Structures are given as structure tokens and as C-alpha cells.
Amino acid sequence: MAEQQSVTPADCDVFVVGGGPAGASAAAVLAQAGLHVVLADKDKHPRFHIGESLLPHNLPLLDRLGVRDQIETSGMRKHGIEFVSPYHGKSVRYDFGHALDKRFPYSFQVRRSSFDEVLLRNAAAKGAEVLEECRVSNITFSNPGDPVVTANMAGETRQWRARFVIDASGRETFLASQLGVKERNPHNNSAAVYGHFTNARRLEGRDEGHITIVWFDHGWFWFIPLSDGTTSVGAVCPAEVFKNRDADIESFFRTLIASSPEMADRLGGAILQGEVTATGNYSYYAKRLTGDRFLLAGDAAAFLDPVFSTGVYLAMLSGFWAAEAVQGCLTRPAKTVKLLHRYEVRTRAAAAAFTWFIYRIRQPAMRNLFMSPRNMFRVEEAVLALLAGGIFDGWRVQARLYIFRMIYYVTKFSHLRFRFSKDPRRNVGGIRAVGS
């Protein structure tokens, strides 16, 4: 049967593409401010999504939305991070309660299907018009004239004229792809494979909810315990590791697990639930985040390596900033350029606060520092503040993070000197020089 093609025009102040953490947060704030907001999500909620680990600084954002109690009752409390290194033969645990800022001692591991639905229903409760199973197919911009959003819903083509469009379409990156501004991140060309297990061996007691990061020869694993007894497990590796695989994706995943004694032990008696999933093009960014009557938020703007669980936090943060910018643009049009520039600068700065660490997480020097913590000048507390999401905690944190960077470069230089001295070709030359 041919698809019914009818065009039903509708108008709104703001059209939000995507109902994940960024889109739902922005829609809730804007609708509560009295704007007519339409939010369209291509899926029916609840729906599966990876990325289950929140940061402590997520909690104030949940408070602002008024949904923290709902997350408290369903999430697994997360007090810290565990790093496991086979190169050091040990594990090290960090507790958020020891960060420089003591106000945020814990967070949660969540089922994203439930978490995202809470945020979406909250946006609807605040007054946003939420449309599920509504797939946006095109957005056209004309000057003069409002943006026109075209979407397919229940076999019908619908259109909306919007005064402003927020693209929060996640990894679909709708507008970045349409405008040709999406770029792979050259510093972190990674891919991931993941699945969910029951009966995995977890940490005990208060530390059960810790996220665990396990290094191995091809990259790193995440190990995220959920409150229903399921554990999310994934491996992040350079993309070429996936290109060279000679087995189906589940067999490939199990081979990676078997290559890590720590992961093999924790999952020795575990049972895989559902299918194994692989995701390529893992790290990317949009060359521009704003334009005439539109902006990009959350994963639609950029996605980082998830090693520090920044995804949901940065998405929600950008959702709040997007709402602030859009409301300002609509009420004070003369300040539009300034407001959009401020939004882009803040959003990029928030991501950049983590990227220096992310780009170096596989380096031996960085592993050594994380596996041998020292709190000289309270540097360890500052790093913990960053890992908790405290990217704007002021000079006390920032100054100590600069010290940490200096320590990293000194450590890396000492590694290079050691490798240089152990190079057989250099040793031969040195012996000859001494004997001459």
C-alpha cells in the first residue's frame, strides 16, 4: 500500500528534533517558560540506548527538572570509579566523595530506556507537545521566513513552521549531516562493541555501583552494574581493530573479553542477555553548532570517547544552555548573534575540558598516573572533581589540573628517555663511543 502523502501545516515557537537527554531537557525548560514547543522523536519510548553511567554533576540538573526522586528510586548508586590495569597488576578505586568539591559524592547507573522516558514525560508534563514515532525527514531554511520541518508520522507527512529549531537527534546527527558539517574526530578514531550480562561478578558492598574501566591491549572495557542485576559491558578500540576481525560480532566480542584476564574472570559465569551491538564512527564533532534560527545540542553536536561517562552530562548541560540561548533569541532578536556565539563557546569548552584526558587515556604515562595516585597539592582531588563533572569549579580546580598536566608531560618525557636508552641501536652506539 502506498504511503499516504498529506501535508498538515502547524506552527510552533521551537521544534526539537530528538527526545533524548538534550532534547527533553531543552523542551522542558522552554515549555515551562511558556513557549509552544514541539518535540519529535523517531522512537516509541521506552527504547534501548547505551550510555548508562551518570556523573555526580548530573544531579543538580535533575533537581532543576524536578525528576531526581524518580531516578533515585530506580538507579544504582555510583560512588566512584575503579581502574584496572594488567600492566600494573592491580586495580585502583577513586571515590567522588574525596573530590575537591565535596558537595557531589555520588551519582547513578541507570537503564537509559527508563531514564530517557522520565525526561521525555517530564517535558510533556511541563507543556511540550511530544510526538513519538515521528521521524523528521527534512528541515528547510529560507531568508526571510521561518524554518520548515517535515516529518513522517503514522504514514502521514506533516510540516511545522518553527521560529527556531533545536537538533538534539543524537548520533543520527540530522542537521550536521544535512548541512555537511559533521567530521570524524582525528584524535580518537574509535569504535565500540557491547552487550548486557547477568550474573557478572561485581565489586562488593558500597562499591558495587562503581563503574570499572579495564585497560587491555586493544583499548579499554567499561563495566557498568545496573540495579536490576544486569551489567553493561563494552569494549572501545581503534576502528582498525574492528576492520580486521574475521568472525561474527558476538564471537569477536567474546574474543576481546577472553583477551583480558580481568574481564574473563568477572564474566566467567555471566549470561549474555540479548544481542551484541557494534557502533562505528564513535567519535565525531560538528564544525558549526549554530546558524540562522537553529542550533545543535548533545550528541547531535559532538560525541566523545565515553571513558569518563560524559555523554549524558554534556547532553543535558547543552540542553539547558540551548534553552537559555533560544529563549533569548526569541525574546531579544537583536542579541541573537551574541547569544548563539556564547552557546557555541560554552558547549565546545565543556567538551574540551574532558578531551585532553580522553585523548591520552591509553598512553602509558596516563595509566601510570591513574594507577599510582598522589594527592600532592591536592591534584588528585582536582582530577576527581573533573571526573565528577566539575568542569566549571573555578580556579582552585583549574590550577591543580594544570599541575596535573605538567606532571603528565614530565612522566611521558621520562618514559621516552627510558625507551630511548633501551633502544638496541642506541645502546650499540653508546658502547662504541665509550670504547673509542
What band does 151 get if pLDDT is binned at 50, 70 and 90? very high
Please give the C-alpha separations between residue 29 and each of 24, 112, 224, 321, in angstroms, as whole numbers: 9, 21, 30, 10
Structural domain boundaries enclosing 195:
190-279
Pick the last residue of a domain from 234, 254, 279: 279
Q: Which residues, in sequence order, are CB contacts of 392 under 8 Å at separation 6+?
A: none
Residue reference for cell 522512537: 43
Does residue 104 belong to any structural domain of this protein? no
Answer yes or no: do 124 and 56 share one domain.
yes
Q: 122-145 in b/e burial notation, b at 16+ Cβ within 10 A?
A: bbbebbbbbbeebbbeebeeeeee
Q: Please, are residues 93 and 208 in contact by the beta-carbon 8 Å criterion? A: no
- pLDDT one-digit tens code per residue, 120-144: 999 999 999 999 999 999 999 987 7
Q: What is the pLDDT of the chain when averaged over all its residues? A: 92
pLDDT of 6 over the 70 cut: no
| Number of domain units in the chain | 3
Does residue 105 belong to any structural domain of this protein? no
Residue 394: the pLDDT is: 86
Answer yes or no: do 60 and 140 share one domain.
yes
pLDDT of 75 over the 80 cut: yes
Q: How far apart are CA 378 and CA 398, in angstroms?
A: 12
- pLDDT one-digit tens code per residue, 312-338: 999 999 999 999 999 999 999 999 999
Q: Which three cell numbers stand for residue 351?
A: 567538551
CATH number for position 315 = 3.50.50.60
Answer yes or no: do 361 and 350 share one domain.
no
Mean pLDDT of the 71-100 span? 96
Does residue 431 belong to any structural domain of this protein? no
Answer yes or no: do 61 and 145 share one domain.
yes
Pick the last residue of a domain from 301, 320, 354: 354
Does residue 432 belong to any structural domain of this protein? no
What band does 429 get if pLDDT is binned at 50, 70 and 90? very low
- Pairing type for strands 290-291 and 294-296 reads antiparallel
Residue 418: the pLDDT is: 54
Answer yes or no: do 164 and 202 share one domain.
no
Omega before 46 within 30 of 0, i.e. cis: yes
Answer yes or no: do 210 and 266 share one domain.
yes
Which helix (DSSP H) or strand (DSSP E) does residue 304 occupy?
Answer: none
Does residue 80 belong to any structural domain of this protein? no
Pick the last residue of a domain from 354, 388, 410: 354
Residue 2: the pLDDT is: 47
Answer yes or no: do 203 and 275 share one domain.
yes
Residue 48: the pLDDT is: 95
Answer yes or no: do 258 and 292 share one domain.
no
Mean pLDDT of the 271-291 span? 93
Does residue 89 belong to any structural domain of this protein? no
Query: Which of 137, 176, 180, 140 has its CA nearest to residue 156?
Result: 137
- pLDDT one-digit tens code per residue, 365-392: 999 999 999 999 999 999 999 999 998 8
Q: Which three cell numbers stand for residue 51?
A: 550510555
pLDDT of 3 over the 60 cut: no
Reduced DSSP (H G I as helix, E B as strand, rest coil) percent helix, strand, coil of the chain, to 5: 45, 25, 30
At residue 199, φ and ψ (nearest 5 deg) are 65, 25
Q: How far apart are CA 385 and CA 393, in angstroms?
A: 8
CA 315 from centroid of its chain's CA atoms: 7
At residue 227, φ and ψ (nearest 5 deg) are -70, -20
Residue 55: the pLDDT is: 98
Does residue 152 belong to any structural domain of this protein? yes
Residues comprising the chain, all counted: 436
Q: Return the C-alpha torsion angle 426, 432, 434, 436, nearest 10.
A: -150
Q: Please, are residues 278 and 271 in contact by the beta-carbon 8 Å criterion? A: no
Please give the C-alpha separations between residue 391 and each of 101, 124, 171, 196, 366, in angstroms, as whole numbers: 11, 30, 23, 31, 19
Query: Which of 375, 351, 340 has its CA nearest to residue 285?
Result: 351
pLDDT of 280 over the 90 cut: no
Answer yes or no: do 215 and 229 share one domain.
yes
Residue 426: the pLDDT is: 39
- This prediction has a pTM of 0.92
CA 51 from centroid of its chain's CA atoms: 7
Does residue 99 belong to any structural domain of this protein? no
Answer yes or no: do 341 and 369 share one domain.
no
CATH number for position 245 = 3.30.9.100
pLDDT of 421 over the 80 cut: no
Residue 9: the pLDDT is: 58
Answer yes or no: do 302 and 350 share one domain.
yes
Mean pLDDT of the 94-116 span? 96
Name the DSSP letter for residue 53: B
Mean pLDDT of the 58-87 span? 97
Mean pLDDT of the 204-209 span? 98
Answer yes or no: do 175 and 130 share one domain.
yes
